[in-house]
Homo-oligomer: A and B are copies of this chain.
Amino acid sequence: MRPTYLEDFYSFLRFPSVSTDDQFAEKLRECAQWLAQKLKSIGLEADIVATAGHPIVWARNKHRPGRRTVLIYGHYDVQPPDPLELWDSPPFEPVLKDGYVFARGATDNKGQILSHILGIQETIEQNRELPVNVHLVIEGEEEIGSANLGGFLNENRDALRCDVAVVSDTGMIARGLPTLTYGLRGVTALEIKVTGPKMDLHSGIYGGAVANPITALAQLLATLHDHEGRVAIAGFYDRVKPLEDWEREAWRKLPFDGDKLVLKETGVPELFGETGYNSLERVWARPTAEINGIGGGYQGKGTKTVIASHVIAKLTFRLVPEQEGDEILKLAKTHLRKNLPKGITLEITDGHSGPWYLTDPHSQIGEAAQRALHKAFNAEVALIREGGSIPIVSEFRGILGVETLLMGLALPDCRAHSPNENFPLENLEGGIRLNKAILQELGH
């Protein structure tokens, strides 16, 4: 691999392009500018398209009639890096260690989208042109729900007319094992605020005579699940499509043990989840209700004998076919209001949403993807679903009318969204080969 590729990777990673927090908005703009410059330098046209939020980088080669048009999608925004104290090196100062580059965004999604850019660079250098018409659409709001990408696709629907979308923002089931992801979970979010007294109270002076908002919130959150790990919201599972027999069978034949993998990668004392499903099934095909954060009262050192005025919790629901985000939010809110303990008030704020995705891995382009994956990694291709959400693939289908090939390069221990996120150079190189192979396959 050329040393300049690593330089490009490091430059890309050094931007703290955290989309969730407005104080980083300028850094996202700088990151988009760097990307556009890089894309121009390899021979593409590239624009930075302003949105109501963070800008979108849109690049393309000279399109010629009679060829397939491929839209390659990625994102340059990243998750917040906290908790900072758990990183072995600063999250925005990339470090290479044993072949892995450590930095926030290394896998999700900078390393993966960069490999496509470098693949295109190599093809153009070798053949002067690409075998297909290409759009590169790289957004800055994936981690906050891609609120403005749909508008961009709608406004530019004609210019973006294409035959298929290619996205590397999912995982390989193991190092060296190429993987085609044909399904994704969706997500919908809400935030709860429980308020009791108008100010923090001395728990000696008032304790016993007023409801404690933290106690009330704990009681409320405890109603979200039954003791078998099932979500206890009425109607939550009504639209869930059961797993197909062929999927369960295919997944059980995969050359790794999902339960063991989860135990090893997470370090949990034991597995826990919905009764009747194994870990892969739980993550790939079953919905969840997760509390992502909670906070209220005194969290510092020692003791402070207060009754907190209020406490918040952040919730997300992972959705599977055929659940509908708006309906789930409505059911959740009804559940929360119905189970509200006495003596407190509840405020609920909706967060971002994204639908689930399911496509046919045995379609014509699905088979092309399988051939390209095999060529790039020289191994049998695994057909899987994934537990994460890429809301935009449903918009590609809805707005542009195309299916999406999810050919991910993330390894199970990449620590996306966690401290010490990393990406192996091996996969940066594999991704370059994959880009060349898929464009060639789709160009036939």
Contact = CB atoms under 8 A, between A and B. Distances in A.
B214 A342 contact: no
A274 to B, nearest CB: 7
Given A294-B311, A298-B292, A418 B202 contact: yes
A172 to B, nearest CB: 13
B86 A199 contact: yes
A403 interface: no
Contacts of A209: 258, 262, 271-273, 279, 282-283
A220 B214 CA distance: 12
Contacts of A292: 203, 214, 297-298, 303-308
B344 A269 contact: yes
Interface stretch (A121-129, A234-242, A381-389): A381-389
A14 interface: no
A208 B308 contact: no
A297 B300 contact: no
Copies per complex of this chain: 2
Instruction: Among A21, A301, A303, find the residue whose CB has the most chain B CB atoms closer than 10 A.
Output: A303
A339 to B, nearest CB: 11
B306 A418 contact: yes
A351 interface: yes
B416 A386 contact: no
B304 A297 contact: no
Interface string A263-286: 001111111111000010011001
Contacts of A297: 291-294, 314
A96 interface: no
Interface stretch (A34-42, A130-138, A152-160, A221-229): A221-229
Interface string A135-156: 0000000001100000000000
7 contacts: A82-B298, A203-B288, A206-B266, A208-B274, A210-B271, A217-B294, A299-B312
Interface of A: 20-22, 79-80, 82-83, 86, 144-145, 171, 185, 187, 189, 191, 196-212, 214-215, 217-222, 224-225, 258, 262, 265-274, 279, 282-283, 286-288, 290-308, 311-314, 316, 318, 342-345, 351-352, 386-389, 415-420
Given A218-B222, A269-B345, A292-B298, 19 more contacts: A86-B199, A196-B268, A196-B269, A200-B417, A200-B418, A201-B418, A202-B417, A202-B418, A203-B316, A208-B287, A210-B262, A214-B294, A214-B313, A215-B224, A221-B222, A269-B343, A293-B297, A302-B351, A305-B316
